[in-house]
Amino acid sequence: MAHLGVAVLPVEASPTCSTPPPTYAIIFDNLDFFVRTHHQSVVRGNKSLHWIHHLAVEDRVPSHHLSKDKPTQPIMEYDIGYSLPGPETQAHMRREHIVLGSRILTQHLDAFKPFSRVVVRHIPHEFSKIMSEASTHYPLGILFKDENKSGDLVDVLQHLQKEYAPKGPDGLESILVGGDRLTEGNSRNLQWSFAEGESVEDRLEGLVFKFEDWHAIRNLFEIYHKVFFKEGSERDHGTLLSNMNRLRTILCADELQPP
């Protein structure tokens, strides 16, 4: 299944192994579907099921090289001038803004469009090669919980922390947990409600929530579908249904031609 970007969960590393294990993030989303009963009765009716599908996505760039040292001084003694961009940072930002500006000019101004072939489409960095590769994810199965119910979502978050948040010499390590914006907001609110817990585990501090950008892209496609795909618009040139019929006609004609 490697060509699909799916892998089998690896065997746990030996305690004596010097190579640190790979880091990962947990992604989960609701799985909703409706089951219709052919012969309804008092005890048998239609069912609306709400489950949760979750998976682990391995980090392509491990973070073991990052320092975990505590702050060198109290926040009240910190000089805000250290956070302002210096000459080196400003020079670096200028180089990136030149690349971004060249993309805008060659895209929107006709006079600069002939130069679009030489524009830098991706700003190279240290991890450009590895970040261009497909992610490896590990399916973790289905949780028979409804994330729209606070009690079920609490059970899910406690399960994710217990099963997947690693524990090291310094205690519980945090992992990233992603979902759509609603899932991220509900999970964060529940985490805040446990803020008075006695331990790190009780406060759910082993989970750091984030939202996944692909949900926004999916919502945008749904908007396009509602706007351009309309029943009965097959004769209106430029609509999605008309273009689909046109492509289907061309493909069928190609298949009927003799070799």
Neighbours of 183 (CB within 10 A): 24
Phi, psi of 29 (to 5 degrees): -150, 160
pTM: 0.66
pLDDT digits (tens, 9 = 90+) for 112-132: 999 988 898 888 888 888 888
Domains detected in the chain: 1-8+24-31+50-58+135-214 (3.30.420), 83-134 (no CATH), 216-256 (no CATH)
pLDDT digits (tens, 9 = 90+) for 58-107: 988 887 777 777 777 888 888 888 888 889 999 999 999 999 999 999 99
What is the spatial distance between Cα 116 and Cα 118, in angstroms, rounded to a whole number? Answer: 6
List Cα–Cα distances, 232 to 228, 236, 237, 241, 245, in angstroms.
11, 9, 12, 8, 12
What is the spatial distance between Cα 16 and Cα 60, in angstroms, rounded to a whole number? Answer: 24
Does the structure show a pLDDT above 50 at 6?
A: no
End-to-end CA distance of the chain: 35
Where helices occur in the chain by DSSP H, the ranges are: 87-108, 128-131, 150-164, 181-193, 214-228, 240-256
